[in-house]
Structure formats: C-alpha cells, structure tokens
Amino acid sequence: MQYWLFKSEPSTWSWDDQLAKGDAGEEWDGVRNYQARNHMRTMKIGDLGFFYHSQKDKEIVGIVEVIAESHPDSTTDDERWDCVDIKAVKTVTKPVTLAEIKENERLSGMVLVNNTRLSVQPVSADEWRIICNMAGVK
C-alpha cells in the first residue's frame, strides 16, 4: 500500500468535479511529465492519495483512491503518456494548507514543499498519518 498526492488547479479540475464523478471516478489525465507518469505507473488499485488544490487555495481538500492502474491517457495519441483512474473517497473535515504543512517540522521533507511543481507525488506513511490527523480524517 502506497500513498500519493495529486495536485490540480481548481479551475481545471476541482475536488467538486471529482466528487461529482462518484464511485465511477475519472482518469487523472493530462499529465505530461515523466516523473509524475512514472509515479502513476507504480500505483496499485486501492492505493490512497491526497487531493491538493494548487494556486488560489493551496490546501489538501480530499482523499482519493486508485481504482484503475496505469493505462494510456485517452486525451492524447502520444503513447508516452499513461494515467490511472481515481475516485473521491471522502472530503476532509478540515483542509490542510500549504502554510500549515511548511510549519510542521516533521513534514519538511515532503515533495510538496521541496518540488512544488511535481503534480503527482509520493507521500510516506508517516506523512500520511500526520496530515490525516491535521485534517480530522479518521
């Protein structure tokens, strides 16, 4: 079981959009970055991830689950790009902001802090627990 963080601009694909898809979920398509793609290729069904709003909000707003492993991205003919499908699991009780994450010394190693531009990131089990606590997620 691995943990991840999916980053999206709310104006492009928001948590509300993801929620609206329900259990059917949706492709996490449009990724055109090798590192992010490679992370998706290692994902397994049942892996969990945070859903992060970049730009205006800059906070973790929900939890998602991987429901389909890596497959060709349907939004391009370029065979280099794959993606997984994810569904919304729950909305966090209390969104965790980037500022709060930066303030927490135990989260100082997070990719979110050190490589702000990577759109799909791994999250360690420790980081996962800490943030779930902060977010009020059981």
CB atoms within 10 A of CB 124: 14
132 binds DNA (CB under 7 A): no
Site for DNA in 9-38 (CB under 7 A): 9, 33-35
Q: Which of helix, strand or coil describes residue 18?
A: helix
Nearer to DNA, 66 or 112 (CB): 112
103 binds DNA (CB under 7 A): no
117 binds DNA (CB under 7 A): yes
Tokens 């991987």 label which residue? 66
Contact between residue 135 and residue 93 where contact means Cβ atoms under 8 Å apart = yes
2 binds DNA (CB under 7 A): no
Among 19, 29, 118, 124, binds DNA (CB under 7 A): 118
Report in angstroms how near the CB of residue 7 gets to DNA at its nearest. 5
What is the DSSP secondary structure assignment for residue 1, as one 8-state letter? Answer: -
Site for DNA in 68-97 (CB under 7 A): none
Question: CA–CA separation, 132 vs 42, rounded Å?
Answer: 23
Tell me how many helices (H) and strands (E) the chain has: 5, 6
The residue ranges that bind DNA (CB under 7 A) are 7, 9, 33-35, 54-55, 58, 98-99, 102, 114-119
